Amino acid sequence: MRHCAALFALLALFVSGGVAAQAPSLSAQDAWIRATPGVDVAAVYLTLHNGGTHPVTIVGVSSPAAGQAMIHETRLTKGTSSMRPHERLTVAPGATVHLEPDGLHIMLTMLTRTLAPDDEVALLLKLADGSTLTVRARVRPLSQE
């Protein structure tokens, strides 16, 4: 009976939020943005790595530098390039995912300011477990890829 009561108390503490959530195992490196003078959109590229033992799913993106941010995927089909939203992005345990030109990327639209080379832009990746990952991306000139 004692064990049952202790287990119930521990379960109640966990459900109530009394136990701290584990830090996300997702990390981001080499985040950069291609400078696009004169337009109010920009693409963000980076490398994601899941160092944990469980899949991590990104369910949303936001940035104070943009009215809207989302993961997109560029595909080349029969010589025609198209871009479509990628609703959720799951990174498997131990996996590395590259967001790069002509593939997966984060699209920033309705930019709140012109992005100049060497500017830094904050991004917030929202994860399915309710946690977030803050990423800082450096703006590169068009001539530097």
Please state, for a pLDDT cut of 90, what percent of the chain lies above it.
65
pLDDT of residue 83: 74
Averaged over 81-92, what is the pLDDT?
Answer: 84
* DSSP secondary structure letter of residue 8: H
Checking if the pLDDT of 80 tops 60, the result is: yes
How many other CB atoms sit within 10 Å of the CB of residue 95?
A: 13
- Which of 124, 122, 123, 131 lies closest to 54 in space, CA to CA? 131
Global pTM reads: 0.79
What's the pLDDT tens digit per position in 2-50?
A: 444 444 444 444 444 444 444 469 999 999 998 888 889 999 999 999 9
What's the pLDDT tens digit per position in 117-135?
A: 999 999 999 999 999 999 9
The backbone torsions φ and ψ at residue 4, rounded to the nearest 5 degrees and listed phi first, read: -65, -40
pLDDT of residue 124: 98
pLDDT of residue 24: 60
Structural domains in the chain?
Answer: 22-140 (2.60.40.1890)
The CA–CA distances, whole Å, from 11 to 55, 88, 112, 114 equal 24, 30, 45, 50
With bands split at pLDDT 50, 70 and 90, how would you rate the model's confidence at 144?
A: low
Secondary structure element (H or E) that encloses residue 71, with its range: strand 66-77
Q: How far apart are CA 72 and CA 75, in angstroms?
A: 10
Q: How far apart are CA 44 and CA 34, in angstroms?
A: 7
